[in-house]
Structures are given as C-alpha cells and as structure tokens.
Amino acid sequence: MSGVDYADVVCGLAWGDEGKGKVTSHLTFLNEYDYVCRWAGGSNAGHTIYVDGKKYKTHIVPAGVFSGVKSVIGPGCVLDVESFYQELEYLSAAGFDTSLVKVSPRAHIVTKIHKEIDKGEYAKKLGTTSSGIGPTYSDKALRRGRRAEDVLEPSMLWNEKFSSDRPSGARILCEGAQGVWLDIDWGNYPYVTSSNTLPYAACSLGFPPQKIRNVWGCAKAYDTRSGTDPEFPENLSENEHLAFLQWKGQEYGVTTGRKRHVNWLNIDRLIRAINMTGTTHVVISKCDVLDECSVKKVKFSGDRFEPPTYMNIEDLDQFMNRVEGWIRSSCRLVEKIYFSHDPEAI
Ligand code: IMP
Ligand code: MG
C-alpha cells in the first residue's frame, strides 16, 4: 500500500540540543514506524544517540538507521555530500545498514563555497555552525541552487513514495533538527537558523497536515544556547550554579565543540513553544543534572520592557511538580509529560 497512515513528529521546544536524538531513537526501537525522516536543516544539527550502551554522533542521517528503519533526508533539507558520505561510512563501519538511507531529489546541495562564505562572513557575526546552511538556503530562494538529483547517484535518491505492507499505509516518524527558538520566523532574528523547525514544516515531506498524530516536544530542565544570542549574554557563565550545570551537563556543541551558554529554564517560553508546536508528549531531559545543582531556579521572561524574574525551587520534586502544574494549566493538547533522569533513555 502506498500512502501515509500517520506521522508522528519529534521537535525541539527550545534552542536545539534538547535530546531529540534520544527521543527519536527510543521511538524507532518501538517498531511502530516504516520511515524516519528529516524535514529541515543539514549538518548543522548534532544528534547524540546511544545504542546498546554505545554512543554515536550524527549530523544529517536520520536515526532510523540505528533500528533498521528506512530513513529519508527530505526535500526541505540541505545536503553536504562529503560529510554525508563520511557519516554513511562511519555508520556502516559500526555495522548499521546504510542502504536504508535515501535522499530526496529536491534537497539542495551545500557546496564548498557555501561553507566558505558561512565561515568567513557569518560564523563570527551570527555564531553559525559554519556548515554552509544560510548560503545554501539563500541560493535555493534565489532559484539558482543545485539539487541532489543533479549530483547524487540515482540509487541514493528517494522515489518520493511512502509505502508499506500494512493495508492502512506507512507510519512515519519525523525527526526535527534545531528548535522553536532557532526557527527563521519565530526565533530571535537574525540569531536563527535558515529553516523552519516547527512541526508544520514536516509536511514538506509530502503528506497533509491531517496526518500528524503525536508531537513529541523535547526540552531540558535548564536552557542552553549554542552560538551567539543577546538573550544569552556571556556573563551568564559567571554564575557558579549555571557554570556547574554547563560542566555537569557536558554542554558543548556536538557540531562545533563550543561551550553552550546556560540559563535557568524559561517557563513562559516553554509553554509558548508547547502550544505553538501542538505538543502532545513533553519530554524534559537532564533532570539528573539539575538534581545535582545545589541551587535551582525557574525563569519567567516577562515582556520586553520588564526584567525577567527568577523563582527559587527547593528540590527536584518541587521542580517537577511546578513544571507539570504550569504545563497542565496552560497547554490543552498535552497528554503526557516525562521527566527524564537518564542520558540514554526517556
Ligand atoms: P546555522 O544553522 O549553522 O546557520 O546557525 C545558526 C544558529 O543556529 C547558530 O546560533 C547555531 O549555533 C544554531 N544552531 C544550528 N543548529 C543547531 C543545533 O543543532 N543545535 C543547537 N544550535 C544550533
Ligand atoms: Mg543537537
């Protein structure tokens, strides 16, 4: 049967690095999907995934490859051919079946020049990952880009059909990259990435919005920001407790190795992100890290003219109770909230 039965979406509720890789690989191992697909971004993303206790890092290949599920890099993605093939070799050497990975013929190609421009002009100014993302999407918008169909061997290309042995059609898991506050429209422009990170953009894979079933929204027990953003000033690291979270949580960019800025969880932002994405299942990771910090706080953003306020939280139980209460009272679509204490499992 060709056609789509349903699509579940995993998305970031913050600035990326919220544990989407962990949630995606957990879901793919449940055997409930025929496809795992990326819908936006490129090798700027960095996903950390544990399989049988071993740690793997990927940038563009969807997590389906770890559980033997067909994996698609969608039409809205940008592909750095060299780093893509390197990643396939790395995964194949580790014993995974990389023939499951296909690329949409419509995905745009990141060239050496795109990366040079990104590195030379935008890495310092905007704190980009130097992966050539902005320049590639800008050539796409100017309608002068090269696409995967112009460059890749035909055997690597996706046939743009979702098929399944099941009579009701294919089940798809859409793997988000980055997060709501890095979205080109909704983030703190120009300190954003160049694609749409919200779940509606997953429909660019070629299914209608009515097919979206569950949205798994991922966040952490504290906020982190990889790259430049005036909302995360340098002096945050002078706070010993935030510095502790940075150290204990190993908050370094997977793609760039840069230290991430850390701040207390901004609860207003989290609630807004849950509502904008239509999140049905919330996963809040790194509760084990927050638990070990002697001081715990939650941030309320206020509006642009008010200074933010911070509430002191007694312990992890109080943190979970409060956060659960705030989410339950403001987010109607949420069915389940998970507080995760394990880097390898939900
Ligand atoms: P670009 O996507 O490389 O153009 O970078 C634009 C902004 O998004 C920078 O602030 C990056 O640090 C941030 N960014 C892009 N991808 C990720 C990610 O996967 N995790 C966290 N931050 C990211
Ligand atoms: Mg990441």
Gap from CA of 259 to ligand 2 centroid (Å): 13
Which of 30, 40, 101 minimizes the C-alpha distance to 65?
101
- Asked if 214 contacts 281 with a C-beta cutoff of 8 angstroms, the reply is yes
Gap from CA of 169 to ligand 2 centroid (Å): 31
Position in ligand 1 atom list of the atom nearest CA 177: 19
pLDDT score at 155: 97
Ligand 1: residues with CB < 6 A are 15-17, 44-46, 127-129, 131, 133-134, 177-178, 182, 191, 193-194, 226-228
Distance CA 296, CA 170 (A): 44
What is the C-alpha radius of gyration for the chain, rounded to an integer number of angstroms? 19
pLDDT score at 31: 83
- Asked if 197 contacts 9 with a C-beta cutoff of 8 angstroms, the reply is no
Gap from CA of 195 to ligand 1 centroid (Å): 10
pLDDT score at 154: 97
pLDDT score at 327: 98
Distance CA 26, CA 343 (A): 12
Contact partners, residue 54, CB within 8 Å, separation at least 6: 94
Reading the block at residue 184, the tokens are 């080109």
Contact partners, residue 241, CB within 8 Å, separation at least 6: 293, 294, 295
Distance CA 205, CA 104 (A): 9
Element (H, E) at 321: helix 316-330
DSSP-derived pairing of the beta strands 47-51 and 54-58: antiparallel
pLDDT in tens, the chain (346 residues): 779 999 999 999 999 999 999 999 999 999 899 999 999 999 999 888 899 889 999 999 999 999 999 999 999 999 999 999 999 999 999 999 999 999 999 999 999 999 999 999 999 999 999 999 999 999 999 999 999 999 999 999 999 999 999 999 999 999 999 999 999 999 999 999 999 999 999 999 999 999 999 999 999 999 999 999 999 999 999 999 999 999 999 999 888 888 999 999 999 999 999 999 999 999 999 999 999 999 999 999 876 667 889 999 999 999 999 999 999 999 999 999 999 999 889 9
Q: What is this structure's pTM?
A: 0.97
Distance CA 250, CA 248 (A): 5
Surface-to-core class of residue 282, CB atoms within 10 Å of its CB (0-12 exposed, 13-18 middle, 19+ buried)? buried
Gap from CA of 166 to ligand 2 centroid (Å): 33
pLDDT score at 122: 97
Distance CA 338, CA 281 (A): 8
Positions marked active-site: 17, 47
Contact partners, residue 137, CB within 8 Å, separation at least 6: 78, 108, 194, 195
Position in ligand 1 atom list of the atom nearest CA 128: 5
pLDDT score at 307: 83
Given ligand 1 and candidates 20, 78, 110, 178, which is best to mutate, with the most ligand atoms within 8 Å of its CB?
178
Distant-in-sequence contacts of 289-297, Cβ < 8 A, 24+ apart: 289/221, 289/222, 289/245, 289/248, 289/249, 290/221, 290/222, 290/245, 290/316, 290/319, 291/315, 291/316, 291/341, 292/244, 292/248, 293/241, 293/244, 293/245, 293/248, 294/241, 294/244, 295/241, 296/264, 297/264
- Asked if 42 contacts 255 with a C-beta cutoff of 8 angstroms, the reply is no
